[in-house]
Amino acid sequence: MSHSPASKGKNGQTPSELPLAEIEAIISGSHANPFAVLGPHKSGSGIIARCFIPGAENVTVTALDGTVLGELSLRHEAGFFEGPVTLTSLKPLRYRARRGDAEWALTDPYSFGPVLGPMDDYFVREGSHLRLFDKMGAHPLKHEGAEGFHFAVWAPNAKRVSVVGDFNNWDGRRHVMRLRVDTGIWEIFAPDVLPGSTYKFEIIGKDGVALPLKADPYARRAELRPQTASLTAPELVQEWEDEAHRKFWAECDHRRQPISIYEVHAGSWRKRPDGTFLSWDELAAELIPYVADMGFTHIEFLPITEHPFDPSWGYQTTGLYAPTARFGEPEGFARFVNGCHKVGIGVILDWVPAHFPTDAHGLREFDGTALYEHADPRQGFHPDWNTAIYNFGRIEVLSYLINNALYWAEKFHLDGLRVDAVASMLYLDYSRKEGEWVPNEYGGRENLEAVRFLQKLNSASYASHAGLMTIAEESTSWPKVSHPVHEGGLGFGFKWNMGFMHDTLSYLKREPVHRKFHHNELTFGLIYAYSENFVLPLSHDEVVHGKGSLIAKMAGDDWQKFANLRAYYAFMWGYPGKKLLFMGQEFAQWSEWSEARSLDWNLLHYHPHEGVRRLVRDLNFTYRSKPALHARDCEGEGFEWLIADDSDNSVYAWLRKAPGEKPVAVITNFTPVYRENYRVPLPKEGRWREILNTDAEIYGGSGKGNGGRVQAVSAGGTINADVTLPPLATIILEPEA
């Protein structure tokens, strides 16, 4: 032990010296408030500096500009130094530490004031802070003359929180954080930390026990799995070139625009020859031109937020603010979105605010208590997925999630959020037996806290970003999912129509001879088609876990399977509602999707598969170019049955309409019977062009049809056309004039 040679007081130490008990507390990492001890402090008429630098034998104090301010005395061989400095006021300090021939410099984090202020505390406590993504986590900052990173984390029940990383040898004693008692947020400015540094939070629970190191909930970048540390990242810089794209969607009515979504798992759409992931830039070079050529209006990515386990497809995320490291740095994703917008393609993120995985480095029992999740497993644990459920009744948790939605919209210019597993959020008894759930305050099974969260989420999202659309994956008949909040709705822009997906696939699995007995499976959907703003999804959920691909679900031999699928796609593109198709289904991939391998692109060498791809492409451009097919997708005035009750022939026909536009007739024959002179009522005399026929040879069909047109004639006060219906096919007609 070494002491400075000043005269001793009655307690055996110099007036400026720190009691040895406090030194021991600093060295052990158990001191309640290192900011009250370390750094520069007034002492009598002068200023004294104290620092803890493990391994140092001598320390020189300097100002930030290098001016020498004094030499400190070693008070403890573990590396605790103390001594007077020639300062007239408290200022940030630097230290030159030496041990033998080694010398290194570091800036004292305890010589800087806080970064967060009282207004941050106020808005955090009120739950109205909508810029938390600029305050929490790790942000580069020039603070009081020094460059570094500011760290902030919410852990109100912790006894001590430190930021640890490669910049301090993962030593939790070096950067113990300052507690803001009003909010439970811990913060510290760590000078000299560079972008790309790994870090986590070392948290000591209120019982004094150290928790597993925690990744930053607000981290904007993370290590590639299986590593789990967060990474300090510079503020995102992207030269956006999408003003026209964003202006258009901010000013239009989304319900009246063509929206055809290509659902993509970024890790398996295509892979490099060695089986590794494409980077965002490589994906941009291939995926964007493909989607533009195919005529889709949007790409919807399965979750790309950081997640530890590939087979979760991203739905069990440990880093909601970090684009996964699998495809490169966050700037790469920003470039991808910018590239999409330049060619008019929107980008939607599959977003998971319902639950999170229980990995030790994640959110579960973050500060030693149930912080982000409910403490009661009947409310806080999801039996289906073995995950933790967010506590939607806690203001800080709502702020964390709502700020995340705003973060993606602002920083990455996302066009939409598809919110996963909404039904699991809305019902307290979701996947639970009697006695395994806690009723709400009125004794019901509705999760009122989740309802308020979703309403607040949608209100904040649409208020902040007019061009954003939110889409609910909600599988029940919960009312008003896509109705405005002020009308008692949840406030989503759209809702997935799970009923359409299930009913139509159930019908098409049946042999055609049996379909007459299930005719209503395809007519029933029109009873509720306008109760919500619907997206018709043929999603990843239908082509995994033993369900097979869409082509494999179709009834019949191989020819009939392809014909059924082509007829089905045109039926869907002619049906009211926006469209969504999962990757690989646009060319009728036979095998079930797996995240572990690329799509079977080689199938495009075969005419039936290439034919389906060409059909989907033509359907997209037909849907987009004909306002009758999209402008009233969400309004009943845009649909009229022409034939709804011909169950014997399994024929369906309807009219799609839009004010001031040509109507379009959609006619489907779901049997393999070739029908000539089939009478279809039409609203207008004259010639109608056959603008699409799924039985065309170019699509892999038999080439039967109407020679490009039919004639509608008036007889007995009704207008009809005698139409040729190809087998297992859909035709689309439009009046020539």
By annotation, the residues acting in catalysis are: 420, 473
Distances (CA, A) of 514 to 571, 652, 653, 727: 19, 16, 19, 16
Q: How far is CA 504 from CA 265, 461, 508, 564, in A?
A: 24, 33, 6, 11
**DSSP 3-state assignment of 415?**
coil
Residue 401 is inside which H or E element, if any?
A: helix 395-411
The backbone torsions φ and ψ at residue 85, rounded to the nearest 5 degrees and listed phi first, read: -130, 155
Cβ neighbours of residue 102 closer than 8 Å, sequence gap 6 or more: none
Of 580, 576, 577, 566, the closest CA to residue 668 belongs to: 566
Q: CA separation (Å) from 524 to 134, 206, 400, 503? A: 49, 58, 41, 9
Look up residue 271 and give its amino acid: K
Q: What contacts 274, CB < 8 A, 6 or more positions away? A: none
Query: ∠ at Cα 616 (611, 617), nearest 5°?
Result: 95
Burial class (CB in 10 A: 0-12, 13-18, 19+), 616: buried
Instruction: Count each helix (H run) and each strand (E run) in the chain, helices first.
Output: 16, 35
CA 378 to chain centre: 26
CA–CA dist 22, 674 (Å, integer): 92
Cα distance between residue 663 and residue 676, in whole Å: 23
Q: In Å, what is the CA distance from 274 to each residue of 282, 328, 425?
A: 14, 17, 40
3-state secondary structure 116-164: CCHHHHHHHHHCCCCCHHHCCEEEEEEECCEEEEEEEEECCCCCEEEEE
Closest CA to 222 of 415, 400, 362, 365: 362
3-state secondary structure of 100: coil
| Residues 6+ away with beta carbon under 8 Å from 394 | 372
Q: Coil, strand or helix: which one is 735?
A: strand
CB atoms within 10 A of CB 28: 10
DSSP bridge pairs for 85: 47
Q: Which helix (H) or strand (E) holds 407?
A: helix 395-411
